[in-house]
């Protein structure tokens, strides 16, 4: 496997969200009406609706803005996001529940500051200097991590604590509350426990190595797969009750002499088992997103717009998957070689205007979210149906 070296670049951590609120008060004044339509024959409740400041025609977004469901008068949990790091909130998020084949109406309202309540931060991510330089993220269902330039340098110089991989690690949690800070504190700071042991919350026993893990990418040239190394810079965009998102950049790398430039924004919404990868890539018109085969004792599963690998895992089972819309997903293949960690199930994805969007995630049977292969497949089919038929949002 051919992988180029990377030079470390650090940028200052900056949190892009200031207001995270649960709105439980009566509105003082009302603005736009927002219509959200579900054209599918099942209820949808885990999709975040994103409202931009410009389309709302408002000067600023702050904690006094809320979203009220008109049919019930209920005020929903919202989250403000500074998506471009300019210090001003430019997006307002909410997560409605829309019955099958129906349309719900909501209203943008103003509330009193004294009546605002803080919502739990279920969707969380951060840079982790206490464990070299991981970047880790989670929601109420799953958790992931990737590795940074210090870990790369340690690995390349043969020092303890190094990790050389642009694959995506899966943290197998089975509780709905956040575990990132707790697990790192117990393992790396207090030394009172280890996230490699399951004491009821889950554990980290998912080996990545140089594999693609859960959704890492590769470029194929002349039959070989080429990867970047560890991420080189990072920026947290938002954390909150509904979404966490962050930006990663990689130093340029080569695929059979061809220079590849790669960066991405990764987001994870409440209630979802899949992270969304919005990748910017120059130097190729296709990428391959992979799922590690581990001990090669699992089963490759294929569906419309998705590929999955269901495998035994310690004393349980785990299903990993990649999903993309019909214009992006080109096909899948099983790549099985003798070299350790280089065997993956790959999804072949189309790059358009140097961009590609796909989703990667997993379900651990012990979490009881999708405990059997049959239930997991049903979830993959419904998830793919949703991304190909997004909620229709309009404002009045």
- 223 contacts: CB under 8 Å, gap ≥ 6: none
103 is a domain residue: yes
Same domain? For 203 and 270 the reply is yes
Of 298, 358, 359, the C-alpha closest to 334 is 298
CA dihedral 6, 347, 267, 391 (to 10 degrees): 150
Q: Which residues pair with 69 in a beta bridge?
A: 106
For residue 209, which of 333, 344, 299, 335 has the smallest C-alpha distance? 344
What is the number of domains present in the chain? 2
Is 226 a member of any domain?
A: yes
Q: At 71, which CATH number? A: 2.60.40.1180
* Same domain membership, residue 65 and residue 164: no
Q: Is 185 exposed, middle or buried (0-12, 13-18, 19+ CB in 10 A)?
A: middle
Residue with structure tokens 């599918």?
40
Residues 128, 54 share a domain: no
Q: Is the domain of 160 the same as that of 248?
A: yes
* 88/156 Cα distance (integer angstroms): 40
Q: Kindly state whether residues 102 and 128 are assigned to the same domain.
A: no
Final residue belonging to a domain, choices 98, 120, 142: 120
Query: Do 316 and 372 touch, CB atoms closer than 8 A?
Result: no
User: Looking at the structure, do residues 375 and 279 belong to the same domain, yes or no?
Assistant: yes
- Pair (126, 192) in one structural domain: yes
Burial 356-389 (b: 16+ CB within 10 A, else e): bbbbbbbbbbbbebbbebeebbebbeebbebbbe
**What is the gyration radius of the CA atoms in the chain, in angstroms?**
21
Query: Which of these three, 86, 120, 154, is where a domain ends?
Result: 120
Q: Is 276 exposed, middle or buried (CB count within 10 Å of its CB: 0-12, 13-18, 19+)?
A: buried
Looking at the structure, tell me whether residues 41 and 155 fall in a common domain: no
Domain at 342, CATH number: 2.70.98
Report the pLDDT value the prediction gives residue 30, as an integer from 0 to 100: 66
Could you tell me if 167 and 292 are in contact, meaning their C-beta atoms sit under 8 angstroms apart?
A: yes
Give the domain-ending residue among 67, 91, 120: 120
The pLDDT, as a whole number, for residue 60 is 87
Q: Nearest Cα to 93, choosing from 264, 268, 266, 248?
A: 268
pLDDT digits (tens, 9 = 90+) for 76-118: 999 999 999 999 999 999 999 999 999 999 999 998 887 788 8
Residues 290 and 378 in one domain: yes
Residues 32 and 139 in one domain: no
Indicate whether 285 belongs to any domain.
yes
Q: Identify the pLDDT of residue 112.
A: 85
Q: Is 186 helix (H, G, I), strand (E, B) or coil?
A: helix
Do residues 116 and 138 share a domain? no
- d(CA 90, CA 237) in angstroms, rounded, equals 12
Residue 12 lies in a domain: no
Q: Can you give the pLDDT at residue 56?
A: 85
pLDDT value of residue 115: 77
Domain-located, residue 193:
yes
Separation between Cα atoms, residue 93 and residue 81, nearest integer Å = 8
Position 396 in a domain: no
Residue ranges in the chain whose pLDDT is less than 70: 1-30
Does some domain include residue 132?
yes
Same-domain pairing of 173 and 45 = no
Distance CA 172, CA 337 (A): 27
Task: Provide the residue range defining the domain that includes 74.
Answer: 20-120
Residue 395 domain-assigned (yes or no)? no
């Amino acid at each position: 496997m051919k992988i180029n070296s990377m030079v470390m670049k650090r940028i200052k951590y900056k949190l892009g969200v200031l207001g995270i609120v649960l709105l439980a008060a009566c509105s003082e004044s009302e603005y736009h009406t927002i219509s959200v339509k579900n054209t599918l024959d099942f209820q949808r409740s885990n999709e975040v609706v994103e409202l931009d400041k410009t389309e709302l025609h408002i000067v600023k977004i702050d904690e006094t803005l809320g979203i009220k469901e008109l049919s019930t008068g209920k005020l929903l949990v919202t989250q403000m996001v500074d998506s471009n790091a300019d210090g001003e909130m430019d997006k307002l998020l909410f997560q409605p529940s829309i019955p099958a084949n129906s349309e719900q109406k909501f209203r943008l309202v103003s509330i009193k500051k004294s009546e605002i309540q803080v919502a739990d931060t279920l969707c969380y991510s951060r840079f982790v200097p206490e464990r070299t330089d991981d970047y880790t993220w989670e929601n109420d269902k799953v958790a992931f991590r990737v590795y940074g330039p210090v870990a790369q340098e340690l690995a390349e110089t043969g020092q303890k604590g190094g990790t050389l991989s642009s694959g995506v690690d899966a943290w197998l949690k089975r509780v709905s509350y956040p575990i990132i800070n707790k697990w790192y504190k117990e393992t790396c700071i207090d030394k009172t426990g280890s996230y490699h042991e399951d004491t009821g919350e889950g554990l980290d026993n998912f080996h990545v190595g140089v594999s693609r893990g859960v959704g890492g990418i590769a470029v194929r040239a002349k039959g070989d797969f080429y990867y970047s190394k560890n991420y080189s810079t990072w920026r947290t965009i938002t954390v909150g009750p509904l979404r966490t998102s962050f930006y990663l950049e990689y130093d340029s790398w080569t695929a059979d002499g061809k220079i590849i430039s790669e960066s991405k924004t990764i987001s994870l919404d409440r209630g979802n088992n899949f992270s969304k990868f919005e990748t910017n890539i120059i130097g190729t018109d296709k990428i391959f997103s992979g799922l590690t085969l581990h001990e090669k004792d699992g089963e490759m599963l294929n569906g419309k717009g998705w590929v999955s690998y269901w495998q035994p895992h310690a004393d349980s089972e785990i299903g990993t998957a990649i999903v993309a819309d019909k214009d992006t997903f080109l096909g899948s293949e099983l790549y099985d070689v003798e070299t350790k960690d280089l065997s993956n199930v790959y999804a072949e994805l189309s790059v358009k205007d140097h961009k590609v969007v796909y989703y990667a995630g997993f379900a651990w049977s012990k979490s009881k979210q999708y405990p059997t292969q049959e239930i997991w497949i049903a979830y993959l089919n419904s998830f793919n149906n949703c991304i190909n038929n997004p909620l229709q949002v309009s404002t009045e």
